[in-house]
Structure 1
Amino acid sequence: MSRLLRHALAMILLVATVGVTATAHADELKRVLAFGDSLTWGAQPTKQGKLKRLPAVERWPIAMQTALGKGYVVTEEGLNGRTIDIPNAPAQQPSLDGSEALPGILARGQPFDVVVIMLGSNDVNPQYDRTPARIAEGMGKLVRMVRDMHGGISTLGESPKVLVVAPPPLAENPWSTADDKSRELASAYAAIAKEQHVEFFDAGTVIQTDGVDGVHLSGATQQKLGRALAEKVRAMAQ
């Protein structure tokens, strides 16, 4: 065998080995989906005008990624105005119905090891006329979507673990009785999580809504939430 041929074969073997190693390292990463509304998107609190987004390092999904470390990849899927399962007005784009968006997001991004769902702050708006019990029922539907996926489109895989997060109660805000309803979400979500055999976290135990609008969170509070959720996710991903 010529020296040139031996060299070529050695290079092919090296490339193949590097490729396999890179794939193995990628497969070892724990993948986490953060699915939510403007609290997950990272909206800056404001009393008027269009919402602006907090810097990436201040948003809770990225703060969670940082706290988790190199072995984890967090995918942000927050959307302003998103609800759990309230149908949109026909002219409203994109769809704000979380139950419509979640299946496609799961299929496109899979595999995920853990799916974190924090929704409900928009659902308590009086215009939707939803009770905390009805909102929690919708959360249960999202949980079942995740648990029943078994892979993506034409693929097989284990269903991700689910972490249901009750958002912190709203402060006093223009939404009339919404803040009262928001205080009841934690107990309603805890019951649904227990029934569905998934994990639960009450964000109100570690943070308070501190935005000037009574709905959104400051960057410091977002980061605090991300660090707290990282502890929960790390335990789940083992």
Structure 2
Amino acid sequence: MPTILTFGDSNTHGTQPMRSRSSDLPRHARRWPVILGEELGWDVVEEGLPGRTFAFPDAEMGPHMDGRIGLFIALESHGPIDALTLMLGTNDLKAQFGASPGEIAQAAGFHLDVALSDEMQDRHGGFEPFLILPPKPFAAGCLAEIYEGAAEKAQAVQDAIRAQADARDVAVFDANSVVSVSDIDGVHLDTSSHETLGRAVAEFIVAEIVEA
């Protein structure tokens, strides 16, 4: 049975929309990687970490939020894998980082280069990376201050990230084509969106495999 590694942040982890920053709600049981595995009939390795960025250690949440470190750990901890999904970029839009679209996209390119490197490809016997553009966040609810200005920057960031993937011939799925974030906190997905996203990503991956 093929294995897919889903590498991402809180929306891959399955964090529910938050009404307060101290929310202790359990994560979604039927988060999108679970649905993805059901639809594909594949084993899924879930590597979703709330707060993870493409490239920024977080002064509040910790240095391990830097996804560049996490990706090496994930790829060297699990396997062999047959496919990898990368869905990051939401937390990079936090106001505290002040990151430009170019800086975020360059970090996304680093992740793709790691995945495509001879070292990682050989380690797993070859695998296909897929980049997922996350649903665009906006300032709302208890996270409004943290994501101030995110909505205005999000499209430029995603365009720049897509260009990095295109330059490396990596297939891109835009989650914004099927889901949007909750109005409760402007960042996280509700239950129905996880169901929709899991099915849509599965269809996308099957189509890419058939085309290949």
Mark yes or no: TM-score above 0.5: yes
The yes-or-no answer on 1:171 pairing with 2:173 is no
Deviation at 1:51, TM superposition (A): 4.5
Deviation at 1:228, TM superposition (A): 0.4
Q: Which moved more, 1:219-228 or 1:176-185?
A: 176-185
Counterpart selection for 1:52 from 3, 25, 48: 25
Counterpart selection for 1:194 from 163, 166, 169: 166
Deviation at 1:149, TM superposition (A): 5.0
| Partners of 1:183 and 1:53 in 2: CA distance | 30
Deviation at 1:93, TM superposition (A): 4.5
Identity of counterpart residues, as a percentage? 32
Counterpart selection for 1:115 from 84, 87, 101: 84
The yes-or-no answer on 1:220 pairing with 2:192 is yes
Q: Report the residue type matching 1:161 in the other structure.
A: E
Q: TM-score, normalised by structure 1?
A: 0.79
Distance 1:156 1:99, change over 3 A: closer
* Equivalence map 1:1-238=2 (5 Å): 29-48=1-20, 49-57=22-30, 59-69=31-41, 72-89=42-59, 92-93=61-62, 95-151=64-120, 156-173=123-140, 174=144, 175-237=147-209
CA contact (8 A) 1:146 1:159 kept: no
| Partners of 1:204 and 1:133 in 2: CA distance | 20
Q: Per the alignment, in what secondary structure is the counterpart of residue 39 of structure 2?
A: helix
Distance 1:124 1:151, change over 3 A: closer
1:3 equivalent in structure 2? none
Q: Report the residue type matching 1:66 in the other structure.
A: E
Per-residue Cα deviation, 1:45-89 (whole angstroms, up to 9, x for no partner):
0120234333322x01001111112xx111110011111111344
Deviation at 1:106, TM superposition (A): 0.4
CA contact (8 A) 2:16 2:28 kept: no
Distance 1:150 1:84, change over 3 A: same
Q: Report the residue type matching 2:204 in the other structure.
A: K
Q: TM-score, normalised by structure 2?
A: 0.88
Q: Report the residue type matching 1:124 in the other structure.
A: L
Give the number of the structure whose alpha-carbon radius of gyration is greater.
1
Per-residue Cα deviation, 1:121-146 (whole angstroms, up to 9, x for no partner):
10011110111221111011001111
Distance 1:191 1:47, change over 3 A: same
| Partners of 2:53 and 2:123 in 1: CA distance | 29
Q: Which runs of 5+ in 2 are unaligned?
A: none
Q: Report the residue type matching 1:159 in the other structure.
A: G
Give the RMSD, CA atoms, in angstroms. Answer: 2.0
Deviation at 1:181, TM superposition (A): 1.4
| Partners of 1:53 and 1:211 in 2: CA distance | 19
